[in-house]
Amino acid sequence: MGTTTCTSAAVWDMQAERWRKSLKAQGLSDNTLRGYLYTARGWRKWLETEGYDIEPDDVESFHVDIVDKSSPANAAHHYRNLRVYITWLKKRKQITGGNPFDETEAPKVPDKLTPLLSDEDHAAVLLACRGTDLQALRNMALADFGPALWLSRRTGKPLSINGIKMMLNRLGERAGLADSLHAYRVRMTFYTVGRMQAVVKPD
């Protein structure tokens, strides 16, 4: 269906770099750029073994592989990123013929409730934050849902989004939680408990 001028890994890497500059010119954040480029590199690596003529079946197979290795939610995320990339390539006339995404559908993501932190989970996380140094105090502030001292121990600067994700993940593992600890889970727990205590008003 789609024929591309990108016929080698080197050419795909070159196009990915051009895409990065185009996205950067649009004012997208570095975090968003990293996500897009991660998808582009994964796609290029997958094509190395599958060939460079792009068909709807290729798009679907690429995302089935992601589902098998991770989750439908992750596959849906990469589907959206790759669609933006392929559309950009078509506008630059690097792909001729139809857009393979016109004949595909995004991976279905089943509904999944985020488990709230129980009192025992919260206590375990706080226990994992024990210490008197700045890092321990920062972790305690975050885990206790208060104003967080989100500073990097190494640089002394505010933690990046990825830094906070990594820190919460480590705390969850150290606390022995059954489900991963992430910012959304903390926020939903705070919101739900607050609603029950009439502290947080609904929108």
| Residue pLDDT, tens place only, 35-91 | 999 999 999 999 888 877 788 888 899 989 998 888 888 889 999 999 999 999 999
2 φ, ψ (degrees, to nearest 5): -115, 130
| Residue pLDDT, tens place only, 159-203 | 666 776 777 777 778 888 777 777 667 767 766 766 666 554 444
pLDDT-based confidence at 153, cuts 50/70/90? low
Rounded to whole angstroms, the Cα distance separating 203 from 200 reads 9
pLDDT of residue 146: 46
pLDDT of residue 166: 78
- How do the domains of the chain map onto residue ranges? 9-92, 119-199
Helix (H, G, I), strand (E, B) or coil at 155: coil
Write the DSSP symbol of residue 51. -
**Per the confidence metrics, is the pTM higher than 0.85?**
no
Per CATH, the number for 9-92 is: 1.10.150
pLDDT of residue 71: 82
